[in-house]
Structure 1
Amino acid sequence: IESFGRITKEICRFPSFFNGPLYQRILDLWNADHHTHAPILCVSFAMLEWFWMTQMEPYDEIDRFFNLIKAPDRDYIIRDDFLPFTKALLADHPGLEFLSSHQEFQEKYAITVITRIFYVVNRSHSGRITSRQIRRSDLLEAFQQVDEEEDINKVTRYFSYEHFYVLYCRFWELDHDRDYRITREDLLKYGDHSLSHMIVDRIFEAAPRPFENDKVNREFISYEDFIYFMLSEEDKSNEISVRYWFTCVDVDGDSKLNNMEMRSFYAVQLHRMQCMGHEVVPFEDMLCQMMDMIKPANTDHVVAEDFLQPECKNVSGALFDALFNLNKYLMFEQRDPFAERQKREDEFECDWDRFACMDYNRLAMEEEVRE
């Protein structure tokens, strides 16, 4: 199997760590197709030629990637399909070698990578990734990048260890009883109690969940659910997070956010401002400011598409923060124009990358103090 590496990389043009799963897939398909008395355990040239003619030559690189990851009898990818590939990555990548003796962290890293993939690629939240979704995503490019890049943290899409560490530690801080699920009371503590109880209730009741089934207990949030929440909370400038939060605040489910819904969320914020001694911003003033920034097509209500206009990218999160995240809303109200310009000119591609870098440094400093 070691000598098969050049075939994986140079002929099939898969990432090098696909070597083991590719080798096993050829054996599985050959044995299933040829009904041999005893299963073949070693790939021959004839088997490779057969695999190339049937599984590779008729397809472009995206469909080859899709077909290798999914099970042969399905036309979509489920989360467990990625496990052999994340396991191979953990075994092969020099940037993850230090995890070799930490089984639990290896498992949680794999879960995090797979959940982040579904968050970005599977926008229908069906738990099934289609060929079309792969084609519209950057997933193949990210797999190729992580294969070539020795510093895993430079691969900020999906694979960064630092990003995993931030997500896992934030979850761990809230999961006091260590049962890998958190309650409403736990989530209220997120971000120094920045979220209103009203939005926390809506997260539990309505927020998209990555691998939900009919029997899910919505009294709790799993680690995978938390990843969806946190990626959406710390970067509200992309379509995925906009739709996540719009689903939460659209209480009547009519795909329109009207003044009555906004007023009910903001009433909780007003009460919190008063209790904490902050200067109160009346609802009408807040709404006027937000509508001036978002410029919705209809003045009676806001739809998700209003947030997704190119000119709204950097301010789309402000309305959501005004409705349910008091700390971030107050920071927005008191923002420094110079700091905002610096943020636009820094090296980070998105708000999530910026947040993850800062939070990882915070966690690292806290770890140093403890030692």
Structure 2
Amino acid sequence: MKWEMCSVEPFNNGVVKETELKDNGTKDHPSYKAIPKFFDPPPKPEDKDRVLLLRREAHSLVLQDQAEGLLNTEELNELWRILEKHVTETIRSKRQLISLDDYLVVVSEVSAKCQKLLTVGLFFELMQSSNYPDMLEIVSIYNHIVRRISIVQGRIGLSSYDGFGQGYLSESDLESFITDIIPKLAQIRDCMQPSFERFYVCTVVKKIFFFLDHLHMRRIRIRDIVSSGLLSQLLELHDKTNSKEREKKGATNCFSMPAIFAVYENYLDLDKDHDGMLSREELSKYGSGSLTSIFLDRAFEMCRTYGGKMDYKSFLDFHFAMENRKSLKCLPALHYIFRILDINQQGYLTAQTLRYFYDGIEVRFKTLKAEAVNFQDLKDEIFDMVGPKDPLNITLKDLINSGQGETVLSILIEFDKFLAHENREGNPQNV
């Protein structure tokens, strides 16, 4: 419907009065030809699909730009050729070494893209782990560049699953990423049964979220995944030679098939009735089987259950916390256990809290018909170990700062750990 603007009439006081618009009933009124076109209207709010498509297209162009800045196979081959050309010395073991002066010559001959990677700072960074004075193996330089490109490619790959370009991934986003890269991970692809794929993906995703989302925001920043080193470990699995090198060093990739399958096998061993879920009774056999009943009750209260049973995803959080509590750097594990112990959701543990969980330890003493430790003595020892800022309350920060977090939490939830602590060498009570 078109509208015609009628004449305006001035009043005596100078105010202009505009008459009502009238429908001229035509589509080609000449007045419309004089109206300039200011802009193309944006998609309507209800046109969500179009908005999302435009955003994704813009995000895709940015990622494409970043990918073009990486070295391709041909450029990497050229880098290796130039490195070999300027080797300073080849020792008896046929290792090819290069000095800083010859390294600078290499930098002057490579492409502009490669020069951005081959900095003087890189030379001295690699020198810190070099076995040769004032020289580097050229293979260490080449491998560093390859790894760096691989990480950037991984970051770009992760970003392509961030549909809104906000720098975050949800669990489902990360699941899609892991599923799609499995065919490129030779160490996984060549030994995994198709039926196990969903369990592998689930375990990897939950592990990454456990370490990077301990506040349960249900999303993690892409840059946190990259900086954590977890992406690097995952991408190492694309090359089978990395597996042999790790074995020689006695290290295990936490995303390798043996590591992931060991977690799944543990779950299957606990699931005695084979219903795919864990009851409280079944979980009580976890580890040494000495977790207290009070702690297990609280664990089931705090996690999502189905008919009172724990599923595989909830078990993974529990398992990662138990396995990593010894590491002082693993704050998510301490945070997980602390959250279970903090029965009143106050953010700290009191003497009453310690008493509540010590009851579980005391029950085990009675079962063994042994004399229990005096709680008052234990309470004083714990507060002395932690040295909290508030002498009446122990916060998670207090536990972390004291360096005794794993010890304190373990002796409150696991009978075997409690006994080991009480019977340790140097315990005054044993002297």
User: Does the 8 Å contact 2:214/2:335 carry over to 1?
Assistant: no
Q: CA RMSD in A?
A: 3.3
Aligned to 2:315: 226
Aligned residue type for 2:191: L
* Post-superposition CA distance 1:150-196 (Å, at most 9, x none): 31876756413232122111111121233322121221222243111
Structure with the largest fraction of strand: 2
Q: Superposed, which structure 2 residues align to 1:53-132 within 5 Å?
A: 53=65, 61=152, 64-72=156-164, 76-100=168-192, 102-131=193-222
76-85 or 192-201, larger mean C-alpha shift: 76-85
1:179 equivalent among 272, 275, 280: 275
Pairs within 5 Å for 1:1-371:
52-53=64-65, 61=152, 64-72=156-164, 76-100=168-192, 102-131=193-222, 133-134=224-225, 137-148=228-239, 150-151=242-243, 156=252, 158-207=254-303, 217=306, 219-236=308-325, 237=327, 238-309=330-401, 311-312=402-403, 315-335=404-424
Q: Distance in 2 between matches of 1:287 and 1:301?
A: 12
Aligned length: 281
Write the distance in 1 (CA, Å) between the matches of 2:377 and 2:174: 49
Offset, 1:257: 0.2
Mapped contact 1:258–1:300 kept (Cα < 8 A): yes
Shift of 1:33: 5.8
Mapped to 2, the partners of 1:323 and 1:76 lie a distance apart of 37
Deviates more, 1:135-144 or 1:167-176: 135-144
Per-residue CA distance 1:31-54 (angstroms, 9 max, x = gap): x569xxxxxxxxxxxxx9886238
Instruction: Report the secondary structure of 1:127's partner residue.
Output: coil
Specify the alignment match of 1:16 in structure 2. none
Q: 1:63 to 1:194 in 2, by over 3 A?
A: same
- Distance in 2 between residues matched to 1:77 and 1:104, nearest whole Å: 25
Is the 2:321–2:337 contact (alpha carbons within 8 Å) kept by the matching residues of 1? yes
Unaligned runs of 5+ in 2: 1-52, 70-150, 427-431
Are 2:410 and 2:418, in contact at CA under 8 Å, matched by a contact in 1? yes
Deviation string 1:74-113 (CA, Å, 9 cap, x unpaired) is 653122323344334433333224534x222232122111
Mapped contact 1:99–1:105 kept (Cα < 8 A): no
In structure 2, C-alpha distance between the alignment counterparts of 1:234 and 1:278, rounded to whole Å: 29
Structure with more relative contact order (C-alpha pairs < 8 Å, separation 6 or more): 1
Shift, 1:259, TM fit: 0.4
Structure 1: which 5+ runs fail to align?
1-31, 35-47, 338-371
TM-score (norm 1): 0.66
- TM-score, L = length of structure 2: 0.57
Contact 2:187–2:238, Cα closer than 8 Å, also in 1: no
Q: Do 2:188 and 2:237's aligned partners in 1 also have CA atoms closer than 8 Å? A: no
CA displacement at 1:277 relative to structure 2: 3.7
CA distance in 1, matches of 2:63, 2:285: 53
Contact 2:280–2:297 at 8 Å: present in 1 too?
A: yes
- Paired letter, 2:297: D
Stretches (4+) displaced over 4 A: 48-51, 54-57, 60-63, 72-75, 152-158
